[in-house]
Amino acid sequence: MGIDLVTVWAVIILFGVMMYVIMDGFDLGIGILFPLMPDKEDRDVMMNTVAPVWDGNETWLVLGGAGLLAAFPLAYAVILSALYLPLIFMLIALIFRGVAFEFRFKATDESRHWWDKAFIFGSIATAFFQGVTLGAYLNGITVTNRAFAGGPLDWITPFSLFTGVGLVIAYALLGSTWLIMKTEGEIQRHMFRLTRTAVWALLAVMVILSLWTPLLHERIAERGFSMPNFTGFAPVPGLG
């Protein structure tokens, strides 16, 4: 029995994406939570918890993208053509975040707030546009003759914008739980309070997306809510 390379590469890419979401998610979550912790000392502690690992965590994103290019070049070409703008916006935000991370520690007290704002903007925008990209992909891409045939703004839909907000909430939850593990005292107590709120917010997002996703297209709704398909798909949101 031979090895199915398509399945192997799909698993590798999915593993890379999953690891990126988990590993870089708490990094981005710390930036998302920055506005809720205005004290300089608290922000220093938050950034110090990820200082040794933050740049390495982003390599998982490179693995997923390189794997898609190497194993599925046609899919890579179609997806990148359809989602150039949100992906470019995400990369710009990552640059803001990376530069702000390094320069904040070297900044004077008078100029540090600018780097804090850049770090916040970069973290929130990165998470948002990653979610938008996911939502646009789930919503479908117009393809004709094996090439993208849609418009440059097709990715802007209510569903994709909602998934963008949902991923920001998810990363905020990852950031708060990371800080619960890595800090103590008042910061940890504050993160416990934020985590309780973020959990309920994320559960609400998951419920809405679980209902909204199969209703995106009539054909998918017919298949998803018909028997016996419904019995098989019904446990998926609960597992999520």
Contact indicator for 55, 203 with CB cutoff of 8 Å:
no
Q: Per-residue pLDDT for 1 more than 60?
A: no
Q: CB neighbours (10 Å) of residue 72?
A: 16
Question: Where do the H-state alpha helices sit in the chain?
Answer: 5-33, 40-50, 54-57, 59-71, 73-82, 84-104, 112-139, 158-182, 185-212, 218-224, 229-233, 235-239
pLDDT in the model for residue 2: 58
> Is the model more confident about 200 or about 20?
200
What's the number of domains the chain is made of? 1
pLDDT tens for each residue of 88-112? 999 999 888 888 888 887 877 788 8
Which residue range is the domain that position 227 belongs to? 5-239
Mean pLDDT taken over the chain = 86
Cis peptide leading into 214, omega within 30 of 0? Answer: no
pLDDT in the model for residue 109: 77
> Is the model more confident about 160 or about 50?
160
